[in-house]
Amino acid sequence: MHKIKALLFDLDGTVYRGSDAIPGAAEFIRNLKIPYLFVTNRGNRTPEAVAEQLSAMGLSCSADQVLTSAQAAAANLMPGTSAYCIGESGLTTALEGRGVRIIGEGLEIPDAVVVSYDRGFSYEKITQALRFINAGARFIATNDDRVITIEDGLVPEAGPLVAAIAEATGRVPEILGKPNAPIMEIALERLGVLAENTAIVGDNLLTDILAGHNSSMKSVLILTGVSTREEAALADYKPTWIVENYDDLAQTLPL
């Protein structure tokens, strides 16, 4: 098997759980001799905030080593367009950095409604999104993950929010994060590598592992987060490798 020349790492459940580092992650990544990038479907935090957290965990990391689903969504909108956002600072910062104008509630119809992880989600936000989408705005979602793993267990991610708006509008969203192509294409371009020489390491079969499959990459399911070995055995798209932890990963990957 050809050696892996670049790695993509998921974050939640793979490198950390909330504010807690997963054992062995920092040491493994610090010792890598190949390019790598952190690719996360969490759209509520800026790359700068993520890099600061990773640095505090012992990983020297800059913002350009972090790619979020919010950045993927922003890249899909043209500068000068407008958006109504259901999300947090990571989303609005990415959109504004792209030159997208953020609008609030009112009579102006935006070019797009962009939905992401939002701990302030409300009935009023669903209502506003429904009206804008029915009036012709694009329906964009950063991702549709059902849950994420934090310090004390699982919590809902963006998926339930996106599903509520999809149900209200009867529209299918454009999803820009994993497992879909846009975020993976940005990752490969940023690293300057080919998919066939790259592997993605993640804890979620439905996002990370499927993203690898959809992008013709190798994939590693690490059993530190959402998905289990039993679920992997039943999955339509199976990972190239399954590892228990980072010690196992170091012994398994052909680097």
Biggest CA–CA distance in the chain, Å, is 58
Task: Count how many Cα atoms sit within 13 Å of the Cα of residue 218 in the half-sphere of its side chain.
Answer: 20
Active-site annotation holds for 10: yes
Distance CA 83, CA 95 (A): 8
Active-site annotation holds for 111: no
Phi then psi for residue 8, to 5 deg, are -110, 130
**CB contact burial 94-108 (16+ within 10 A = b; e otherwise):** bbeebebeeeeeeee
Q: Catalytic: which of 10, 111, 203, 208?
A: 10
Q: Catalytic: which of 12, 144, 203, 208?
A: 12
Distances (CA, A) of 1 to 29, 66, 77, 176, 240: 22, 28, 39, 31, 11
What's the token pair of residue 120?
A: 């302030």
* 3-state secondary structure (DSSP) of residue 48: helix
Other beta carbons within 10 angstroms of residue 158's beta carbon come to 29
Write out the catalytic residue numbers.
10, 12
